[in-house]
Structure 1
Amino acid sequence: MPNRLKKTPFLFALTLLLTISSSCAQEPKAPNVLFIAVDDLRTELGAYGNPIVQSPNMDALASEGALFTNHFVQVPTCGASRYALLTGMRPTKPLHLRNDAIEKELTHKPEGKTPESFIHQLKQNGYYTVGIGKISHSADGYVYGYEEEVSSQKELPHSWNELLFNPGKWETGWNAFFAYANGENRQSLKKQVKPYEAGEVNDDGYPDGLTTQLAVAKLRELKKQKQPFFMGVGFFKPHLPFNAPKKYWDLYKRDDIPLSPNPEIPKNINLNSLHNSGEFNQYALGEEHPNLTKQASQEYAKKLRHAYYASISYIDAQIGELWKELKTLEMDKNTIIVIWGDHGWHLGDQRVWGKHTLFENALKSALIIRSPYASHQAKKVNTVMETVDIYPTLLELCNLKPKNKVDGESYKAILDGNQPTVAPMAYSYYRNGISLRTERYRLTKYYRSENPMIELYDHLKDPNETVNIAHDRPNLVAELLPKLEKGNKGLYTSK
């Protein structure tokens, strides 16, 4: 009996200690987030079935994570697409379709209960947030014009603990965004430039290589911190100009690069649904200036597609460096990696070179989410998804919920293997129109006087959107139109 009395307090203490230790071990550690925004990246990767594009690092991340095959942006222009991403909200007024949407809506507001962005909410919940490059619209996160001095005004004033950028010899973020290898840029050369360049330089001979170096160095610093981090890395390419080190051009034989499968203007549409490639054609020294009435020659079209592919391979190599560093630092097992293209791009499709349309080529973009959770790995998600869904999805992956109501829906349940109870739809906005994408159809309504105002494409029979069948399928249009109108929250009035 005496021995038993002596052991009891010890056994009780030991049991209590083991219980506490077990509880602490089971408590989920907040994951880090590495969010990589890639400008103008459509689904032109090996992971999406392109046999020509050399994108081994993004393909590897897609094979380990979830590849979203039907991700659509809200607005096919950089600033407005990023506004939807950051806020989780679809456009409700014309300002939300403009590149300065973030500046006009968020930059000058005092910090309040409602987070200005999902990054802000992560920061409020103990995350250390670092922005490098183009995450919001500005090339370096500060508000100033293309040819102005760099300002001290952050585009997202409450979201970042640190905002970093190395413009190198180009001196400012916007100069770096339009950089050529010799240190000049589109502005300094008064647009007397070509829309592509194969620079005889290493990766750091263009700004995206400098961004990679900065991000790698920062990861090493973040390794020493105890709190979780969100690091946003915004790469410029493959945005115009399609400039990349020559070694990435050398990965391709131009004769192997296919031309667009849909180079003609779709039948039964009004030309106001398209445009004359104004952004592309401002690069004055381009050999040709294609538009809706004059196509690019096959030779020039292949050269441009070659340049776009080289730019993708350049960025793929940068992403590979980040991924390698995460693994070296043994941070990969607790880091969510997101690769997001801010919109698509017409590569001569429908006679357009650029974004800024409500066609599939401008609205569909790359999305890869590599989660450390085993159940989320090696998945191909074919469910229709919108950019606004990223906000609540990322928060839920970080064991959080949006503080305010957002338009997006979390896709964590789908990553877990569950099927959606309601067929998802994606809304996109531009050119006085709204486009509704379902699993099979794209219905677009333009709020304008020019006819036809309604376009319908059957992606099962016509995945390249070559024929508007709205006139032939009035019953289907009538069925889908009320769903489309639900996405019009005061943005347009019928003409």
Structure 2
Amino acid sequence: MMKKYFWTLIVGLLSVGQVSAVDKNAPNVLFIMVDDLRPELGAYGKTVIKSPNIDKLANEGVMFTNAYVNVPVCGASRASMMTGLRPNKKRFRTFYARADEDAENAKTLFGYLTEQGYHTQSMGKIMHDAGDSVSQWSIAPWKSSSIGGMGHRNYVLEENIARFGRVKKGPPFESADVEDNAYFDGMIADHAIEALSDAKSLDQPFFMAVGFVKPHLPFNAPKRYWDLYNERDIELADNPFQPTNAPVRAVHGWGELRKFDGIPKKPKLVSDDMARKLIHGYYASVSYVDAQVGKVLGELDALGLSDNTIVFLLGDHGWSLGEHGLWAKHSPFDHATKTPLIVRLPSQKENPAATGAAHGLVEFVDIFPTILELTKQPKLDQLQGSSFVAQIRDPKAPGKTAVFPRYQLAEVIKTEDYALTEWYGKQGKMLARMLYDHRVDPEETHNVAEEPEYSDVVEDLHNQLVAMMESR
């Protein structure tokens, strides 16, 4: 496998300019990203979910319980994270946003590490568009969706392929009695295992990014993972309604799901039976991905690479499973903007006292500077986040006082106690707002923005939000 990568590696190194000499004993980074992942995992207290491998990783490292993306949509979230730049009204807005177009002069995390002398490679879904900043990797990114002409929806049952083809969206879920690598994420895990074996022989540290595509729609997973759950026992969201006093702008039509066969096209709730099937499919997809994560981490151990490899595992954003009547990301609510983040240092694997849950706030523009500090690489002036290494070293250390997601016209500030969202028009006029008191309303069911007792809170958060908007 190394031979077929040789010339691609040389071309990649030449394309990013001068390569610095990095200490060959510098730590490796295994960066695992999971699409549309909620903190719906055993380690996060959601015991209905079967996620033993991710739970084990969390127990061996630091699990962040208040980690927020900066924009809850695939392309924009990934481009912001990989450049360390915040989204704004003109940059990183949509699912097809690209770093090399929205911030063409910015360095990416992987491009910068390549320049420092790291071997960098990507497999699966890391950047939303595989061509985004492609020359900054050491070797060309690998995507399972290119195998055998298979479309990105990845149905394997013949009835779905015959009826809907490889591209047209069919049902929002599929359960096939097949091996794990019949679906994309099993292929991605297989490729990652090969790549780790090859990387072991490199005379340089590596940054390996592995992007799993489930539990993104459609919720397709091998039958064995569906069989882990009894659909009759699945509980529906207990707040399937818009928050009281919430502005109309907080509502959206979850069009991503409506495009699939069997989902009502009109703006109404799905039936309870369909809701349970969707949640069942989501759970099965999470367990399927968890198994693939276990395979990759197992290979890391088997190769003896865990002793010098930092592991990151995270989602690119969350996903609503009927909460507020929504079935998507694309919103300022916590279910869309909060996602798992787990970091394991080599030293933590053998030192349980240095592990635990970090409850301090972090946001995803902080990931780039954090990895630079952990790998002892030079700082980069473009970065707008700040390192959270202190929390990795000591989970009880404080986090940020506030984090700042945004989506389309919605600007958000989240603190330890509150979440304020304000919508702004093109001329800068505020159109609507909502405030949730997470101390008493963590599920964000009652908008208190206009209640007199919260006026001082609203003013303070508004001023912080405006200052952030003006700075980015």
User: Could you say which TM-score interval applies, normalised by the shorter chain?
Assistant: 0.7 to 0.9
Is 1:488 aligned with 2:462?
no
Alignment match of 1:304 (pick from 266, 278, 281):
278
Q: Who is 1:224 aligned against?
A: 201
Compared CA separation, residues 341 and 291, structure 1 to 2 (3 A) = farther
Q: How does 1:126-141 map to 2 (within 5 A)?
A: 126-138=117-129, 141=130
Residues of 1 paired with 2:54 and 2:102: CA distance?
32
**1:161 aligned onto 2:161:** no
Residue aligning to 1:270? 247
Q: Distance in 1 between matches of 2:411 and 2:305?
A: 42
Aligned residues: 441
Counterpart mapping for 1:192-341 below 5 A: 193-283=170-260, 285-286=261-262, 288-289=263-264, 292=267, 294-341=268-315
Q: How does 1:25-36 map to 2 (within 5 A)?
A: 29-36=25-32
Structure 2 matches for 1:368-447, cutoff 5 A? 368-374=342-348, 377-417=354-394, 423-447=400-424
Shift of 1:399: 0.9
Contact 2:361-2:402 within 8 A present in 1 as well: yes
| TM-score (structure 2 length as normaliser) | 0.88
Q: Could you tell me how far apart the structure 2 residues matched to 1:350 and 1:464 are? A: 9
Does residue 1:470 correspond to 2:466, yes or no?
Answer: no
The equivalent residue for 2:149 is 171
Q: Say if 2:61 and 2:343, in contact at 8 Å, map to a contact too.
A: yes
Does the 8 A contact of 1:179 with 1:185 survive in 2? no
Whether the 8 Å contact between 2:391 and 2:398 is mirrored in structure 1 is no
CA gap 1:300/1:405 in 2 versus in 1, 3 angstroms: same
Aligned to 2:433: 454
- Following superposition, the deviation at residue 474 of structure 1 comes to 1.4
C-alpha distance 338-180 of structure 1, shift in aligned 2 (>3 A):
same
For residue 5 of structure 2, what is the aligned residue in structure 1? none
SS of aligned partner of 1:479: helix
Aligned match of 1:352 = 326
2:92 equivalent to 1:96: yes
The residue number in structure 2 matching 1:37 is 33
How is 1:172-187 mapped onto 2 (pairs within 5 angstroms)? 175=151, 177-182=152-157, 184=161
Q: What whole-Å deviation, never above 9, does each CA across 1:454-473 have from its counterpart, x for those lacking one?
A: 10001110011000001112
* Distance 1:97-1:306 versus aligned 2 partners, 3 A rule: same
Separation (CA, whole Å) in 2 of partners of 1:353 and 1:478 = 32
Residues 290/308 of structure 1: CA separation in 2 closer, same or farther (3 Å cut): farther
Given that 2:357 and 2:395 are in contact with CA atoms closer than 8 Å, whether structure 1 keeps it comes out as: no
Distance 1:425 1:290, change over 3 A: farther
Residue 149 of structure 1 corresponds to which residue in structure 2?
none
Label 1:158 to 1:423 Cα distance change in 2 as closer, same or farther (>3 A). Answer: closer
Deviations 1:324-371 (Å, cap 9, x if unpaired)? 101110111111111110001111110011010111111001111111
Q: What is the distance in 2 between the residues matched to 1:483 and 1:419?
A: 25
Give the Cα–Cα distance (whole angstroms) in 1 for the partners of residues 102 and 362 of structure 2.
25
Q: CA deviation at 1:290?
A: 7.2
RMSD, matched Cα: 2.4
Instruction: Report the residue type matching 1:258 in the other structure.
Output: E
Residue-by-residue CA offset, 1:274-315 (whole Å, 9 max, x unaligned): 2111110000x22x42765x2222222111101000000000
- Asked whether the 8 Å contact 1:301–1:348 carries over to 2, the reply is yes
Deviations 1:90-149 (A, max 9, x none): 113334212332155269x5xxxx7621111111111101111111112xx23xxxxxxx
The one of 91, 97, 109 equivalent to 1:118 is: 109
Which deviates more, 91-100 or 442-451?
A: 442-451
Alpha-carbon separation, structure 1, partners of 2:232 and 2:246: 32
Indicate conservation of the 8 Å contact 1:115/1:403, yes or no: no
CA contact (8 A) 2:153 2:166 kept: no
Q: Given the alignment of the two structures, is residue 46 of structure 1 paired with residue 42 of structure 2, yes or no?
A: yes
List gaps (5 residues or longer) in structure 1. 1-26, 143-153
Q: Would you say the 8 A contact 2:225–2:288 is kept in 1?
A: yes
How far is 1:84 from its partner?
1.1
CA distance in 2, matches of 1:228, 1:33: 8
Deviation (angstroms), 1:159: 3.1
Question: Conserved in 1, the CA contact under 8 Å of 2:155 and 2:220?
Answer: yes
1:188–1:35 CA distance, 2 compared to 1 (3 A): same
Closer, same or farther: CA 420–326 of 1 in aligned 2, 3 Å: closer
